[in-house]
Amino acid sequence: MQNAALKHHGEYLLEMVGISKEFPGVRALDNVQFKVRPGTVHALMGENGAGKSTLMKCLFGIYHTDSGEIYLSGKKIRFTTARQALDNGVSMVHQELNQVRQRNVMDNIWLGRYPKKGLFVDEDKMYEDTRKIFNELDIRLDPREKVEKLSVSEMQMVEIAKAVSYHSKVIVMDEPTSSLTEKEVNHLFTIIRALKEKQVSIIYISHKMEEILQISDEVTVMRDGKWIATKPAKELTTDMIISLMVGRDLTNRFPEKTNMPGETILKVEGLTATYQPSIQDVSFELRKGEILGIAGLVGSKRTDIVESLFGIRHVSSGDVYLHGKKVKNSTAEEAIRNRFALVTEERRSTGIFNILNISFNSIVANLGEYFGSTGLIDEEKCKKDTKWVIDSMSVKTPSQRTLIGSLSGGNQQKVILGRWLLTQPEILMLDEPTRGIDVGAKYEIYKLIIALASEGKGIMMISSEMPELLGITDRILVMSNGRVAGIVETRETTQEEILRLSAKYL
Amino acid sequence: MKKVLALLLALTLVFSLAACAPKPAAPAAGEQAAPAAETPKIGVTIYKFDDNFMSFVRRAIEKSAEGKAELILNDSQNNQATQNEQVDMMISKGVKSLAINLVDPQAAPAIITKAKAANLPVVFFNKEPNADVLKSYDKCWYVGTASAEAGVIQGKMIADAWKANAKWDKNGDGKMQYVLLKGEPGHPDAEARTKYAVEEVKNAGITVEELELQTGMWDSVKGKELVDAWLAKHGDKIEFVICNNDAMALGAVSSLKGNGYFTGDKFMPVVGVDAIPDALEQVKSGLMVGTVLNDAKNQGGATSDLAINVANGKDPLDGTQWKFDNNKAVRVPYVAVTKDNIAFAEEAYK
Amino acid sequence: MLSKVSNRLKSLTGKDAAAWAMNNAIFLVLLVLLLVIIAISPDFVSINNFRNILTQASTRIIIALGIGGLIITQGTDLSAGRMVGLAAVISASLLQAAEYPYRMYPDLPMLPIFVPILLVAAITGFFGLINGFIISKLKVTPFIATLGTMIIIYGVNSIYFDRPPYGAQPIGGLSQSYMDIAQGSINLGGFMIPFLVIYAALVTLFIWVLWNKTRFGKNIYAVGGNPEAAVVSGVNLVRTILTVYVIAGVLYGFAGALEAARVGSATNNTGNMYELDAIAACVVGGVSFSGGIGTVSGVVTGVLIFQVINYGLAFIGVNPYLQYIIKGLIIITAVAIDTRKYIKKK
């Protein structure tokens, strides 16, 4: 397949040349080159803030470039609306899937250009056309199904089908696998290969090195708004990409483990959730100073464990013992009082208070501590604790009053970690703590997690990234279809064993 | 959660059921009082249940119909469309006559059309349809007052009081500087009371000067707010506060109190119309000069008498003390109420 | 509908029935209400009552369908009632009987009835356009935008209404032919069908086709369900919102003209608070305030539920104040049950 692409050497489908874009105070793009050959998968890589999204926004006309030119099939283009881009065969499958969930699949695909028969919408044609595209891409979905009933991967397929329906020549996929299972990723790759056959080019934005090396033909790396390199994927390794992205060699992606697990502090027996499908009969122990990884496919209900322990999911049976004493958290308030803490998966929707400042975001889980005898908030203590969060988590921010929404993902996550540490937890539960965070910042988060374990906290960490689990945990609990498939020692296990366990109850 | 829901649904049901049990007092009492002879059903609509004055009329109707008719009472919620619908409903329920307190006096033809179609007699009360509309249907009549009369009586009362209290002419210019709180614009009573009250004062030989005239929409709160503003603007230049009804007069009194009146020798004469109990209290304690009794008891009584008579197929005035004027209307007279005859007015509410 | 509902009830058992009940809560509420009313007053079952309820629901259905469309786009409209009032006053003022002595325009010749109706529909359509403009272009939240226009329209209406020669007089003496279009009925095989019911049925059909069969209809749902997705797909957000408010305005105008004819007069207070009834009916009928969800049948059922409550409770003689309490409880109950469909349990 790569040979086919190479035959067209010199012929680019999409060329972005000398693109520069300046925002007040920041040079977001600096003379960037980006050239995509027809019928190839071209990975676009870089840390968060490297300029990938800005570059794509320039392509779609959401931003106007200060200088530079864009050519599609040799023709100079300048889109001003997303629709114009679509009509010219350039489309995007968004990271946050942009669909009208209350409507059905075909309504979503043909949104904005429903076929008409006289005055009315031609539903039959819509149905037939949708079926045709689904057949081509081997998507098995009912075009009349409501989108809200679909899984994330199915929604994504609908988005891809939509792109195809526009006869797109270039499809941008932004973190397409971030919430897919292994099997779904494979299906996605099948679809991507089918698209390549049709001479469609894919711009593939992702943080997952392994996937990129597996699916892409070429890789372009950006850093600090600049183009760094474009190379054939087969000439690259994970470490090479990382060093291009970070600009230095990352010989070790994980910090040294210094924590020493001690005695058992938390014991969970037969935990079962009220509303199924969810967790069933989950039992495990957590030791002081231990990092317990929780692995499993998407849909294996990993998150439900921590939600149940934190009192935000109804539990029908099962016991939880903290230091041998039975505890029951039926609300988050109780959980916090019992010194549990939960850093949630969806940072944007359930983690940060986007439009509020760092100070508020730091103290919010612990508000009760800031009211003295007067009943009014103790500003001094707030300042002191916020300073502690910023310093000890090394949050990069101009001030305590900065809105958290303006920080990078990594820094936001550090504030949230700090927030929970202010509650003096014994049990710290982290749900995908490094999702959407760039490589450099990830390293710092790992360091923090290990440091916290060394201080004696019991830590549970849910993650979809296998290297991360293998890199910093002590033991790994593998979930499969709501049940515990096994608990393994990290030092003795392998990626293969974990995958095998993940499929145990499917 | 399901239990909570079931409970909620059940609660709503029980509520609706329970709600239906205590039917309006009158019919229940009526049914018991006359077990043998079937009493006729009479459909009554009140333009707005929570209207101060109309609630007394309603009570008078209920009281006077006790044992003689089964009343179906409706609250038209100050909405003519609602009232029309209630009339449809009552016709469908098989009432023998209608007693209608219109929301909008202009809407009488629509009601008459409905009544005509069902061959039902109608007694309008308190809000007067046009004379020619009343003439258009032989089975409809009106019970009310002569709109002009309240104004005339109020005007007389103002003139008498003014002449008797020379020091009320604070600036000594021999003229009466007054402010007037008007009812809802377009309401015949509001228009008539405003016109005739002032006219009557002039007729008594008093020179007047109108400082302000605004609508308080019959409402205490609006009345108070307006007087607040006027006091701020004119202060002691105001020598008389004339109100189209007592609710607004009460608002005016409360505003005056707040501005330091009625303490020491700071005084302001206020008059109203309707003689509602609150206002009588104010008259008694000297905060209001007087009011005009819009005789709720007799209006309600007359309405009920006429409606029952026609429901039973009798002559509307059969066995009553009332007379029709040229327009098929019974005019219940107004009475001026001051400190001197307050006992008479209080009697009207018993 | 009654027999259909009970038949389907019989054929289901246990869990199915519970799920079915949950999904059709609105119809169940209506059914239960009817049963309670009939149990207390069996003579409620009559063609006359049935016709009265339908007739009375007619103008409300027209208003509610206008509001329903814009609630689907995540909008709301507090100005609806005032627009109804404006339309009622203007059309009444232009259609007073020639022989009526207090005409607002004493020398106005008799106009063909459709002229004033089209005129008021155009006027309220224009105010709808203003609403849509403020919401879509100036990005003011619909609640605030229409709160503003509600007050403005009342002011405009009052100025028009309270003018010489006769000042703030209720506008009555409407021409017979005008009143006939609302109060009349047509004899279909011995069964009298009120014109109002026919208008409501036609508007319902029109809106059903509009919402379900046209591009514009699908765009409404898309804009309400996910405005961003709609924009990215090339749906013209501004135009869609403008249009939906204009259509609502035109419907209010039509309803207002009918309302004046139905009542036989109009004042500047005609239509006051109608919007709240309409919004309540939509919400009870399953139109979601968060947008993207709502059906014509739901809206119509919602209006009918309220009409059955209004009419039925008065018919069985429930204390008027108690009726308010029952209405409030029913709104909350119906929506609470309906909402459960969309809540994910944890």
Higher pLDDT pick, A73 / C164 = A73
Task: Check if C343 contacts A (Cβ < 8 Å).
Answer: no
Task: Check if C233 contacts B (Cβ < 8 Å).
Answer: no
Q: State residue C343's pLDDT score.
A: 66
Q: State residue C240's pLDDT score.
A: 94
Task: State the average pLDDT for chain B.
Answer: 86
C-alpha to C-alpha distance for B64 and B57, rounded to whole angstroms? 10
CA distances from B122 to A203, B141, B143 (A): 81, 7, 11
- C168 neighbourhood in chain B, CB within 8 Å: 184-186
Q: What are phi and psi of A144, to 5 degrees?
A: -95, 5
Omega before C165 within 30 of 0, i.e. cis: yes
Task: Check if A100 contacts C (Cβ < 8 Å).
Answer: yes
Closest CA to A7 of A35, A38, A32: A38
- B80 neighbourhood in chain C, CB within 8 Å: 263, 265, 270
Closest CA to C90 of C104, C108, C110, C107: C104
Judged by CB atoms within 8 Å, which residues 296-315 of B form the interface with C? none
pLDDT digits (tens, 9 = 90+) for C322-332: 888 988 888 88
Task: Check if C42 contacts B (Cβ < 8 Å).
Answer: no
Closest CA to B85 of C315, A498, A85: C315
Omega before C101 within 30 of 0, i.e. cis: no
Q: State residue C80's pLDDT score.
A: 97
Is the pLDDT score of C290 beyond 90? no
Q: State residue A251's pLDDT score.
A: 57
C-alpha to C-alpha distance for C346 and A32, rounded to whole angstroms? 47
Q: How far is C235 from chain A (nearest CA, A)?
A: 5
Q: State residue C204's pLDDT score.
A: 97
Judged by CB atoms within 8 Å, which residues 157-186 of B form the interface with C? 184-186
Question: C23, C72, C226, C289: which to substitute to probe chain A, counting the most A Cβ within 10 Å?
Answer: C226
pLDDT digits (tens, 9 = 90+) for B166-187: 999 999 899 999 999 999 877 7
% of chain B surpassing 90 pLDDT = 54
How many other C-beta atoms can be found within 10 angstroms of the C-beta atom of residue A236?
A: 21
Per CATH, B41-145+295-332 and B148-293 having the same topology is answered yes
C-alpha to C-alpha distance for B307 and B65, rounded to whole angstroms? 9
Judged by CB atoms within 8 Å, which residues 113-132 of B form the interface with C? 113, 130
Q: State residue B34's pLDDT score.
A: 40
Q: State residue B31's pLDDT score.
A: 40
Find where tokens 């403008």 sit.
Answer: C242
Q: State residue A48's pLDDT score.
A: 63
Closest CA to C291 of C168, C91, C135, C122: C135
% of chain A surpassing 90 pLDDT = 34
| Total beta-carbon pairs less than 8 A apart between chain B and chain C | 139
Chains with at least 3 CB pairs less than 8 angstroms from chain C: A, B
Q: How far is B106 from chain C (nearest CA, A)?
A: 5
Range B47-73 burial, b when 16+ CB lie within 10 A, else e: bebebbbbebbbbbbbebbbebbbbbb
Question: A111, A149, A275, A330: which to substitute to probe chain C, counting the most C Cβ within 10 Å?
Answer: A111
Higher pLDDT pick, B153 / C323 = B153
- Structural domains of chain C ordered from first start: 45-345 (1.10.3470)
- A86 neighbourhood in chain C, CB within 8 Å: 233-234
Mean pLDDT of B17-26: 45
Q: State residue A7's pLDDT score.
A: 42
Q: State residue B90's pLDDT score.
A: 93
Give CA A398 to chain center in angstroms: 26
Q: Given C213, C215, C221, which is nearest A103 (Cβ)?
A: C221
Is the pLDDT score of C121 beyond 90? yes
Q: Which amino acid is at C160?
A: Y
pLDDT digits (tens, 9 = 90+) for A54-67: 898 889 888 888 89
C-alpha to C-alpha distance for B114 and A27, rounded to whole angstroms? 78
Chains with at least 3 CB pairs less than 8 angstroms from chain A: C
pLDDT digits (tens, 9 = 90+) for A341-359: 998 887 777 788 878 888 8
Is the pLDDT score of B217 beyond 90? no
What confidence category does residue B121 fall into, taking pLDDT thresholds of 50, 70 and 90? very high
Just give the CATH number of B148-293.
3.40.50.2300
Take residue B270 and report the two structure tokens written for it. Answer: 């206020």
Instruction: Using CA coordinates, name the residue in chain A closest to C217.
Output: A121
Instruction: Using CA coordinates, name the residue in chain A closest to C225.
Output: A100
| Total beta-carbon pairs less than 8 A apart between chain A and chain C | 78
Q: Given A86, A100, A313, which is nearest C346 (Cβ)?
A: A313
Is the pLDDT score of B14 beyond 70? no
The correct answer on CATH 3.40.50.2300 for the domain covering B41-145+295-332 is yes
User: Are B12 and C330 inside 8 Å of each other by CB?
Assistant: yes
Q: State residue B195's pLDDT score.
A: 93
Dihedral Cα A158, A159, A162, A168, nearest 10 deg:
-140
Domain ranges of chain B: 41-145+295-332, 148-293
Task: Check if B28 contacts C (Cβ < 8 Å).
Answer: no
Q: Residue A218 in 3-state DSSP?
A: strand
Q: Are A201 and A40 in contact (CB under 8 A)?
A: yes
User: Are C222 and A111 inside 8 Å of each other by CB?
Assistant: yes
3-state secondary structure string, chain B? Answer: CHHHHHHHHHHHHHHHHHHHCCCCHHHHHHHHHCCCCCCCEEEEEECCCCCHHHHHHHHHHHHHHCCCCEEEEEECCCCHHHHHHHHHHHHHHCCCEEEECCCCHHHHHHHHHHHHHCCCCEEEECCCCCHHHHHCCCCEEEEECCHHHHHHHHHHHHHHHHHHCHHHCCCCCCEEEEEEEECCCCCHHHHHHHHHHHHHHHHCCCEEEEEEEEECCCCHHHHHHHHHHHHHHHHHHCCEEEECCHHHHHHHHHHHHHCCCCCCCCCCCEECCECCHHHHHHHHCCCCCEEEECCHHHHHHHHHHHHHHHHCCCCCCCCCCCCECCCCEEECCCEEECHHHHHHHHHHCC
What is the β-pairing status of strands C185-188 and A41-45? unpaired
Task: State the average pLDDT for chain A.
Answer: 86
What is the β-pairing status of strands A218-223 and A41-45? parallel
C-alpha to C-alpha distance for A443 and B112, rounded to whole angstroms? 86
Q: Given A82, A101, A307, which is nearest C346 (Cβ)?
A: A307
Q: How far is C284 from chain B (nearest CA, A)?
A: 14
Q: State residue B26's pLDDT score.
A: 40
Count of positions (residues) in chain A: 506
Q: State residue C20's pLDDT score.
A: 75
CB contact set of B21 (below 8 Å; sequence gap of 6+) = none
Q: Given C225, C345, C346, which is nearest A100 (Cβ)?
A: C225
CA distances from A289 to A265, A321, A451, A453, A492 (A): 9, 17, 9, 4, 19
- C292 neighbourhood in chain A, CB within 8 Å: 100-103
Q: State residue C1's pLDDT score.
A: 46
Q: State residue C26's pLDDT score.
A: 72
Task: Check if C329 contacts A (Cβ < 8 Å).
Answer: no
Q: State residue A417's pLDDT score.
A: 87
Task: State the average pLDDT for chain C.
Answer: 88
User: Are C172 and B9 inside 8 Å of each other by CB?
Assistant: no
DSSP state of A405: G
Q: State residue B270's pLDDT score.
A: 96
Q: State residue B11's pLDDT score.
A: 54
User: Are C167 and B185 inside 8 Å of each other by CB?
Assistant: yes
pLDDT digits (tens, 9 = 90+) for C33-67: 889 889 988 888 888 888 889 998 999 999 999 99
Judged by CB atoms within 8 Å, which residues 241-280 of C form the interface with B? 259, 262-265, 267, 269-270, 272
How many other C-beta atoms can be found within 10 angstroms of the C-beta atom of residue B321?
A: 10
Residues in a beta bridge with A269:
A319
Closest CA to A40 of A149, A202, A265, A150: A202
Mean pLDDT of C109-121: 94
Spell out the alpha helix ranges (H) of A198-288.
209-215, 238-246
User: Are A108 and C346 inside 8 Å of each other by CB?
Assistant: no
Count of positions (residues) in chain B: 350
Find where tokens 């794509």 sit.
Answer: A56
pLDDT digits (tens, 9 = 90+) for B38-96: 789 999 999 988 887 888 899 999 999 999 999 999 999 888 999 999 999 999 999 99
Mean pLDDT of B207-214: 93
Residues in a beta bridge with A291:
A459
Is the pLDDT score of C168 beyond 60? yes
Higher pLDDT pick, B327 / A441 = B327
